[in-house]
Structure 1
């Protein structure tokens, strides 16, 4: 929002001086003519003492200003329109309060219009319109003013200048001449009119100020408008400062990243940025739990601060690759067609009726109560009787992927839980590797040769298997 809007810096030079108290008093005592021509203004309110340029385009208005300019005292009555949009106003479309003005300059424009420079002299009230053609004429009387006492006047002048100067300081588009003009004003009336004229107010708001007879009330209202304007400017400056800080930070980060990229290119490490982008694009295609997404963002941000030459780079990117490779929320549809299951089991295995019945019974329980924590089936028997092939048949019958994990001779707990990330070449355990290989979160897992699991100083795999095989614990199994 603009506070002061000088349209010509020459309005502050010696041709149009700032009005002194004595000059203001002299203008207020001028005799008013019995009848005066009235110029209707569309969106401008003229205050006493103020100099403004006006472009006149209506034929009747052009005739009026030309006749007045040729007259001896060049005085004209200026009144604002109630409704700006009306092109050809009637008398009822005009306010009843206006300002006697003197035409200082008249300039003919190439398009036939006329630009005049006028200075407000004193306020008036229309008693009656006496003519509408060829232009408006009216009988007017001087609008009386009431003044505050001397101490109140000085206090108001100080407050008005203080608020206005603060606004000027916050508005880089306001010329320095505005501050000089304010400092040279010693009249409360002219100071109030000067500020009100340059405030970005509606015509109705400026007209309200013009019509007020009490200079004390008028100055207090202008102070209120100044306070509102100051709040807006202070908030705007606060926002601009914050935006500038954010932009400076972003620009600094951009420059630093460009420098890092250049250095990486020189060192032959320039592929890390494209690698990061590739990882992010893969992540956008994933549908995973919120907790996993937070972990991914944390790790990808950490990776962005590392260079490929750093030891942690390979560790972090390996972890992220595993996050992206796992089949989050990807489940194959269960098939519980018992006749088909029975048929496939009979095709693959002869006999073993009790085992087949137990498998069908287990599948029936899963179908009826899918959320029930069903026990894990254990096949035992001598080598070659078909334990492993039964697992394959179950997976084929249900339309699931089959993952076999051989635990024969496994002596390291890391085979089940995976290695710690801090170790070089660390890998997840067999369970997570199986999920990645299956590309689905619900394959048929067969842990083969469980009885041949050993243990030594590296840990006890059998104890780690307890968490995998216990239905009460395996839903919270965590790999290292």
Structure 2
């Protein structure tokens, strides 16, 4: 590395100006100290060091820290005296220099000790230097075409430069960039970094220039369009007057006439009449006139006094529900009870029904059937993913593109003020900085408040007390408590295999035949094929996947008939495999082997029940419990409780004292990508740990569910119907259920528990006694 050679040179401090090497500039000098410096330099034939102040407002007194570290050594030429004690000097840039110290001399002005610094060129090969040179010249041409560097002579000169270092400095001087940007390029010693910094600045300036050009063009078009529109409107105004056609006054009269026909409540009437009067006094072409016109028409379209007569015949409602839905007896019974009380009491503030259940169980179609049975108009509002309060309450009409909220819009669409409105997926609303959707729904669903619901767009009260609201949800636990408190929850549980069979025969097959244009003689499906389709090709709480499979079969039938492959398709059990491929849920794939440390648990999910394998291994190690399988906090605590209880059992206490210090217990729940949580796997994990510790297998056809306490008590759980259906579908023959859930089992249909031995347990010792296979055993050794 070359040693720095310092020299003392006269110094001039620039304010808001940076001079680059290889450039020339004319400056007008007026400050007394700078005049002394120039005269001294030219007299002694010395170079001058020019440097830029960090603050453009720097005064005559300053120190080294007020200046940038890198400046330029220049040569002073052609000093010319101008009026008012101003001297014009031409400076020629030579090289970069780094300042070390500054002193002030009363005779010569400021003097600086500096050392020239060289550009680091080693980072670029000859090929890279040529590539960068070509790139910089290409960008230079773009700068010229975008009006950034407008001097054609300068651009032509720059195009002829063959040194990358010189070209970068010359462009930095010529381009209209900021002082800070020029200083950055001046201070960058590495040629590659300096070139890239310049390219970044120029590309940014090109982009800004293009955006400015686009904005100016749009403004020019807008101004021209506005002038043209004004002339045309004035001409239209004259033409209307000549033809005697109506203007805003006449349009306002039409609105007043419609207001009389609609006959809204007095508060609404006064508000609309006031807005119509304001509209009549506005110019036809004004923007506010368009806003008011849209507002008046929207409010007048609302069915203020239009309603339908509700059918009070409960037999019609019962027949309609039976016609549209198979099974769901308790759901239908509860809905009929609700409608009976509503008809008998005439109350409008009855609780809002919320149908809760897995997807595909018919919640939305039940609401549609209720609307049909009651002779009500039906409207649906999808709330899934709605996070803006304005979606419910509407936008202020002063905003561009403002519109009423979804509640008012849905009622307007039905054309009556007492429709049935379905609030679909109410558990999937969310909130953000724009407001909380569920909080906005509190007023809508409260019979004590919704008679004076105010939509932000309408700005007048809207009576929602005559509207029958029904909500649907997959998981009631995610609905905020205040909103859940305003609704009566009705559970729509999973379908059994027998129910799915009848739904497929009575509803899905006829529906898909009509949808796919097939006659009953062209497509037939045996009962055995339907059962196999349900059992081996679908695994769900509802019937959506089943309907898609049936639709797929219909499509194959339609193709075969059109291609004359056959005249009709008769689907049998053997034919299913040929048409739909291998069964994804074949019973032959299920493993019911008695194994050590492996227990089948039962889980409830938003889409129905499912089985859960709990696996435990005992490993040599430093002790402790390792949990894997993407478990939630509650499930992790249940595992710890299970281990703590198992360690208190007599069989386990017989083990060596330091057994648990030298052995590690690894508990895993397969399907690690799926999050799992909840306390209902407590007894399952306890039995798996016990089985692994005593090396005795667990019955492979046994499933269980239940929370465990620290003292071994088996506590009740929820979602029992879905869990038992999952156990039956998995081929389990024995199920352990908490004794306190016996009342829930008694309410289930016999077909759900048919073929399974339901054993009620209240203590973990009963689980161990009934779950461990009666064989010889040996304790794990050290």
TM-score bracket, normalised by the shorter chain, equals 0.3 to 0.5
- What TM-score results when the alignment is normalised by the length of structure 2? 0.31
User: Which structure is richer in relative contact order (CA contacts within 8 A, separation 6 or more)?
Assistant: 1
The structure richer in strand per residue is: 2
